[in-house]
Amino acid sequence: MDTLGFLGPLGTHSEAAALHLNGLLDEPRELLPFPAIFQALSAVEEGQATGALVPVENSLEGSVNITLDALSSSDAFAVNLELIWGVRNELMMKYPKTEVRSIISHAQPLSQCRAYLKERHAAAKLVAVSSTAEAARLVALSRPEDGCAAICTARAGELYGLYPVAEDIQDTMANCTRFFLVERAGRKPPALRFADTPAPKKLLVISQIDGKRAGSLCEVLQEFAVRGVNMLRIESRPARTALGAYIFFFELEADAAEPLAASVEAVREKSIRLRTLGAFPVLTAANLKGAPLWSSL
**pLDDT more than 90, % of the chain:** 67
Signed CA dihedral, 269, 274, 280, 286: sign only: negative
Instruction: Identify the CA nearest to 160 among candidates 110, 92, 87.
Output: 92
Task: Give the global pTM.
Answer: 0.87
CB 9 within 8 A of CB 131: yes
Average pLDDT over residues 223-229: 91
Residue 223 neighbours by CB under 8 Å, 6+ apart = 263, 266, 267, 270
Helices (H), 208-250: 216-225
**pLDDT more than 70, % of the chain:** 92
Q: pLDDT tens-digit profile of 86-133?
A: 989 999 999 999 999 999 999 989 999 999 999 999 999 999 998 899
